A and B are shown apart, each in its own frame.
Chain A
Amino acid sequence: MPKVEQEYQLRIPSQTDNLELIRGFISKVAEKVGFNEADIGKIELACDEACANVIKHAYSAFIKDKSLDVAIKINYQKFTIVVTDHGKGFDPASIKIPDMKEYLAELKVGGLGIYLMKTLMDEVDYLIEPGVRNQVKMVKYFINKNSSKVVKSEKDHS
């Protein structure tokens, strides 16, 4: 992990065909700072879910500039992803985290992305200013990374 804070940024049109590129960006940076494969997979998926939500919901058809920013901030303690759009926003209080037992029993569709983000990352927060900027901030602490590294090295030696 870096001694001083580092930041990486990607600005990209808000389109589903860019999700692959976003995942590539996220996973390369996560790999660079030393996360293991399993954690890289979690970070990549959480970011994909956040960006897919923006692409699906943030912009109405009439808006021309449908851009999406993905920023990664890294310090000695944590890996932070901030996904920003300039669309219509939403009320974070309206987000329902599904109870998975109930969800599966009722064979519901959709809403899994937010559950995954909350489960895969250590923190998920929203900053909503409709039409100005809307942000989803997700954090993964390095302490978890180190503990998973130990598990990996034990497995490697077996």
Chain B
Amino acid sequence: MEKFVVQRIDKNDLSTLCLGGFLDAHTAPNLEEAIQKLLDEGRFKIIVNFKDLTYISSAGLGVFMGFIEEIRTKGGDIKMSNMTSKIFRVFDLLGFPTLYEIVDDESEAISRFKG
């Protein structure tokens, strides 16, 4: 597998970013770029699917922190899904579940946007 991959799928006003590989200080700029591109296109309802992500460090977590305020100000949100327990543990350690909606799978994330 490549070091880090981000695949984007747009459906109506929702955009899903499917992450794979590892997200550290080396690869975090790639995610930053992908989210910035969504914002530049006026797409603020974002689902991040962590299914194939094997590792995350604070550099990866910092990317979400860097965008969330702008996204919410524009009426959007980042909802997260499909985390392995290893990835969830890092989010949980930092108290991120109080800030972000983290759900089991992508369909639930979609319904949270619709609900």
Contacts and interface: CB of A to CB of B under 8 A. Distances in A.
Contacts, number: 66
Given A19-B26, A20-B26, A56-B25, A101 B95 contact: yes
B95 A100 contact: yes
B102 to A, nearest CB: 14
B86 A113 contact: no
Given A23-B55, A104-B96, A107-B69, A112 B25 contact: no
Contact of B22 (A20, A49, A101, A113): A20
A109 B25 contact: no
Contacts of A55: 25
A68 interface: no
A1 interface: no
Contacts of B62: 109-110, 112
A141 interface: no
Interface residues of A, number: 28
What is the interface of chain A mostly: helix, strand, loop, or mixed? helix
A116 interface: yes
Interface string A104-136: 100111101101100110000000000000000
Interface string B13-26: 00000000010111
Contacts of B89: 38, 41
B94 interface: yes
Contact of B26 (A16, A45, A49): A16
A48 interface: yes
A104 B99 CA distance: 7
Interface centre among A41, A52, A108, A112 (most CB of B within 10 A): A112
B58 A107 contact: no
Contacts of A112: 58, 61-62, 94
Given A20-B3, A45-B57, A119-B93, A109 B24 contact: no
B60 to A, nearest CB: 10
Given A41-B89, A104-B95, A120-B93, 8 more contacts: A16-B26, A45-B90, A52-B57, A100-B95, A104-B99, A109-B62, A112-B94, A116-B93
Interface of B: 3, 22, 24-26, 55, 57-59, 61-62, 65-66, 68-69, 86, 89-90, 93-96, 98-99
**Closest CB pairs A-B (n = 3):** A16-B26, A112-B58, A52-B25
